[in-house]
Structure 1
């Protein structure tokens, strides 16, 4: 298991599961849990993720960064050839949890839309 922090966000990688949670002032917290069709733990390098963010600060928007960090890690994994877009479309499960005060919302994010933004926004920047 690997865990590291990016600002107010914490990232945990456990075998094929990615768990990103961010806390912000104002009692709003978001959490994204992504389950990959392959094991990703050996390929996630916290230093590489942090270096990428320093090099391309626009990769992370202001506000909630959970889904942005998730997409960034997916982009880095695709760039290394760990996982293909096809594998992600078939086997990626992404759930987003939003907690505002005591109310909690949960929704699934389709792998299609996630992979699409990874292609259009992230992979182009990381080349």
Structure 2
């Protein structure tokens, strides 16, 4: 669920980056994402709480809260994962009497945590603007 929210949130923000002058309402954004406007509004609320977007009620639309070159994909990740759920959660209650079950939480947990740290570092190095440039180039190549 978190990964889907992240991709939808990134899609929403890319639309705002590439079409900043458009009146981006939740129905318009939902059409691009191919989802329900209610889903868009829920995700927009998280993005607005994080200061990544500004939303004007009604037909006002939405816009980025700061320049796209100052928004990393990690900023988006944090916004849609406000409770900081682990990317790779461990299963509950392995058997403490089992030689494997006894060590799985610590050993596997350390590896899962390292993987999440690496993913977050990679996302922090990617700006929304850089992804928008790639999408714009791809769109022009397809059109031309």
Larger radius of gyration: 2
In proportion to residue count, which structure has more helix?
2
In proportion to residue count, which structure has more strand?
1
